[in-house]
Structure formats: C-alpha cells, structure tokens
Amino acid sequence: MSCTVYQYFGAGGHLLYVGITERGVKRAHEHAGSKVWWKLATGCTLEHFDTREEALVREAHLIRTYRPPYNQQHNPERSLPLGQRTGMNNRNRPARPSVPGMKERMRAYYNATPEERASMACAMCQERPPVNGPCCVACQTARRERKTAA
C-alpha cells in the first residue's frame, strides 16, 4: 500500500507541518477544517513511498531536522511555546529547496561515482551511510523483515 509524506509551507517557504497519510486529499480536507496553521499554508509538497514504514522514517527525519512549529511528535521543541520554536523564529531563513523522493535518491546513488557514493547518505532514512548498495544496513534489514512478514 502506498503512503504519502506531505509538507505544508507558509509564506517565505517556512515549513509549518509535516504529516503522513494513506488517504490523500481526504487528509487535506481534515486539516482544512480543524488546524490553525491551515490558513498560513501557501504550498505543499508530496513524497510517495511504497510502504508506510518508509514514509514513517522520512516523516520523523523531516520533523527532527526542520522542527516544523506545528508538529508535536518527533519535534525536539514541542515543550516550548509556539512563538519560541525555531521554525517560527527563523523567518529570514531562505526557502528550503525541494527534497528529492526516494526514487530520485536511488537513481542518484546508481549514477554516482564510487567516490561520490562514499559520501552519500542512505537513500531511505538519509541518516546513516549506505553499505553494499544505496541503503544502510538497518534499512536493508528492516526491508527484508517487511518482505518476509508480508
């Protein structure tokens, strides 16, 4: 089953919120009806994954790295008042460039030279260095376990 990681951006390219869904547009309508940040959103990006587990890894990575102010889960700043969170205070930060999806990251790995591959991050979690292919050992093991469980 495919799963989507979505990122909502505000004016100036600030990342407001990161989420995950298997219900696409229905989830956007739910946010529109219930979230304070919805009226601040001026754009959205989508990344599609083959499995929910891959999408969960990506979502957690984005939240820990960029600390979108309206996310609670995985956000190291969740205990701070909203106005004191990094994502709210860095208004002069340039807009973050679009992040390539996993297919693009895998393609980049296979098109890279051996020297370039040595400095690349895992195509799945983007945190650990890849070993024997585009993915790190932890992601390779998790993928293998998912396939045998299915």
**Average of per-residue pLDDT across 89-104:** 56
Contacts of 126 (CB under 8 A, 6+ apart): 58, 61, 105
| Coil vs helix vs strand at 87 | helix
Q: List, in order of start, the domains of the chain with CATH numbers.
A: 3-89 (3.40.1440.10), 102-149 (no CATH)
| Nearest alpha carbon to residue 130 among 149, 102, 99, 98 | 102
Tell me the pLDDT band of 93, cut-offs 50, 70 and 90: very low
pLDDT at 60: 93
Residue 88 has pLDDT above 60, yes or no: no
Which pTM value belongs to this model?
0.55
Predicted confidence (pLDDT) per residue in 35-60, tens digit: 888 888 888 888 999 999 999 999 99
Tell me the pLDDT band of 100, cut-offs 50, 70 and 90: low
pLDDT at 38: 83
